[in-house]
């Protein structure tokens, strides 16, 4: 039986960006020092990495660039400091800022090996998900678009494909298994940020089954939750998209719509280690057997973590 190649909407792939001044999760404050310099600090409640675009207007008595691009990884810290050109006078300025999840243009290995997102020796069938903006809104599918859905015959535990930190969890929706529903955005999902700056989105969890929390570090093979049925499929599945921040061109995004939008994120075609092949790019409608490959698991892990991950 052929599996449905579902259309999946990933907001992060559709120009999702956040104006920090309208959000409570990321705040910038400043302090004028006695020597007339100005320090800009940030605080955030999200454990993930963000790229911040800080713009100054009416900037006087400072040689600083009017546009600053900064990476913030910790929960708080110093963004930058302004020094007065003329030390006898203060600095005049106004500012605005925008931020987006991810480290801009991280260095990653495109041939990095990942685990199939299930426990050892689980047989999965692969399908590819189409780009929902192209399917329903007349947009063009990105050249690098690649989203896999890994199906199992019965409900099964979804596991992490690589080590990372859980940066977002949405566990809100009951599963709609109706065959009449070709697409729904009401899908439970989570996002994991990897050590190399890439992000992995996992979509398709049974409500209440997600077993990890924001801020938690997961290892390759760590349990994440239980997969579920969607879009009238007879099998259970989870969608995986691997991506990275490639642009902070917010200006071009402001006037875009669902048809003309261009993603600020790049999509990565992942390689997986399976029983059938030590290194494979999955093919649609093919079956693969999950493997807890020690060589894959040991990457980036301490000895203590290895013992936990390969047991």
Phi, psi of 123 (to 5 degrees): -85, 125
Residue 10 has what pLDDT? 38
Q: For residue 267, what are its two tokens?
A: 């999509």
For residues 264-269, average pLDDT: 94
What is the rounded CA–CA span in Å between residue 98 and residue 73? 15
Cβ atoms of 205 and 226 within 8 Å: the answer is yes
Question: pLDDT category, 255, cuts 50, 70, 90?
Answer: low
Q: 7-16+106-309 in CATH: which number?
A: 2.70.70.10
Q: Which residues contact 297 (CB under 8 A, 6 or more apart)?
A: 115, 219, 220, 221, 306, 309, 310
Q: For residue 144, what are its two tokens?
A: 């690098």
What separation in angstroms does the CA of 105 have from each of 25, 219, 264? 23, 24, 11
Instruction: Answer whether residue 135 shows pLDDT above 70.
Output: no
Residue 182 has what pLDDT? 52
- pLDDT tens per residue, range 77-99: 999 999 999 999 999 999 999 99
Residue 287 belongs to what H/E stretch? strand 287-289
What separation in angstroms does the CA of 218 have from each of 148, 149, 159, 193, 203? 21, 21, 9, 10, 17
Instruction: Answer whether residue 231 shows pLDDT above 70.
Output: no
Burial pattern 154-192, b for ≥16 Cβ within 10 A else e, equals eebbbbbbbbbbbbbbeeebebeeeeeeeebeebbbbbb
pTM as predicted: 0.86
Instruction: Answer whether residue 246 shows pLDDT above 80.
Output: yes
What's the chain's average pLDDT? 85
Instruction: Answer whether residue 6 shows pLDDT above 90.
Output: no
Domain ranges of the chain: 7-16+106-309, 20-101
Instruction: Answer whether residue 260 shows pLDDT above 80.
Output: no
Is the domain covering 20-101 a CATH 2.40.280.10 domain? no
Phi, psi of 297 (to 5 degrees): -65, -35
């Amino acid at each position: 039986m052929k599996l449905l190649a579902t259309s999946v909407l990933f907001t992060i792939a559709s120009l999702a960006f956040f104006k920090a001044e309208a959000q409570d999760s990321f705040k910038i404050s400043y302090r004028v020092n006695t020597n007339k310099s100005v320090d800009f600090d940030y605080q955030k409640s999200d454990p993930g990495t963000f790229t911040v675009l800080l713009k100054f207007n009416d900037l006087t008595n400072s040689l600083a660039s009017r546009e600053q691009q900064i990476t913030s990884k910790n929960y708080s810290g110093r963004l930058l400091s302004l020094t007065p050109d003329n030390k006898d006078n203060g600095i005049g300025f106004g500012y605005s800022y925008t931020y987006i999840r991810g480290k801009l243009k991280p260095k990653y290995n495109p041939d990095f090996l990942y685990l199939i997102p299930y426990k050892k020796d689980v047989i999965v069938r692969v399908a590819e998900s189409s780009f929902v903006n192209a399917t329903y809104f007349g947009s063009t599918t990105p050249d690098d678009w690649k989203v896999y859905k890994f199906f199992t015959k019965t409900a099964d535990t979804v596991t992490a494909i690589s080590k990372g930190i859980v940066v977002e969890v949405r566990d809100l929706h009951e599963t709609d298994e109706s065959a009449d529903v070709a697409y729904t955005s009401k899908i439970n999902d989570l996002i994991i940020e990897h050590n190399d700056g890439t992000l992995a989105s996992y979509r398709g969890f049974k409500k209440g089954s997600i077993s990890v929390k924001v801020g938690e570090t997961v290892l390759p093979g760590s349990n994440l939750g239980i997969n579920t049925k969607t879009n009238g499929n007879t099998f259970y599945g989870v969608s995986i998209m691997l991506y990275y921040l490639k642009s902070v061109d917010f200006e071009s995004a402001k006037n875009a719509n669902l048809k003309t939008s261009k993603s600020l994120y790049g999509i990565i075609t992942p390689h997986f280690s399976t029983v059938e092949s030590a290194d494979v790019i999955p093919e649609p409608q093919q079956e693969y057997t999950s493997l807890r490959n020690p060589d894959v698991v040991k990457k980036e892990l301490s000895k203590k973590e290895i013992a936990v991950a390969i047991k």
